[in-house]
Amino acid sequence: MSDRCGMKSWLHEKAQNAAPDDTAMVLRTDMDGLKAINDTFGHAEGDYGIRTVSNVVQSITSNDEICVRTGGDEFCLIGIGKYADDEPQRRTERFLKTLEAVGRSSDKPYEITASIGWASAPYSENVVSELLKTADERMYENKLMRKKNRI
């Protein structure tokens, strides 16, 4: 996993090597219920949840993509390359299934879940910034929907 500075240099390098038919893909994740875990089970357990989400995001990130922590419990995967149209949806499904499997196999008294949003478009110079916004909006829509379903 890289940091935001690493992301900027990675994007610069990828932009210089992008082919005219490349696609940019962004997935944004945000852990659900971190405050409740921290308040009920302690910050060490909250940190465990963050590490778990981080590990799952990294597990769906290929070698030619970048995964960065963009906030306390928020992560972003960015790729520029040859992607099938359904790649963001397949990655989203893989992320959710993997996170669920990891959660089932843990002995924790709480569920580790995360909301996710994605966006993709043909690559151009400023498209990643727009995709980050769109993926972020979709992630928060997903988070609101998941929250309503929990109540």
* Beta strand ranges found along 82-136 (DSSP E): 113-122
| pLDDT of 4 above 70 | no
Residue 96: give the domain boundaries: 4-150
CA dihedral 131, 52, 101, 96 (to 10 degrees): -10
94: enclosing H helix or E strand? helix 87-105
pLDDT in tens, 117-129: 999 999 998 899 9
Q: How many domains does the chain have?
A: 1
pLDDT in tens, 60-102: 999 999 999 999 999 999 999 999 999 999 999 999 999 999 9
H-only helix segments in 42-86: 43-59
pLDDT in tens, 127-144: 999 999 999 999 999 999
| CATH classification of the domain holding 19 | 3.30.70.270
- What pTM did the predictor assign? 0.90
CA distance 36 to 121: 36
Percent over 70 (pLDDT), the chain: 95
Say what the pLDDT of residue 2 is: 56
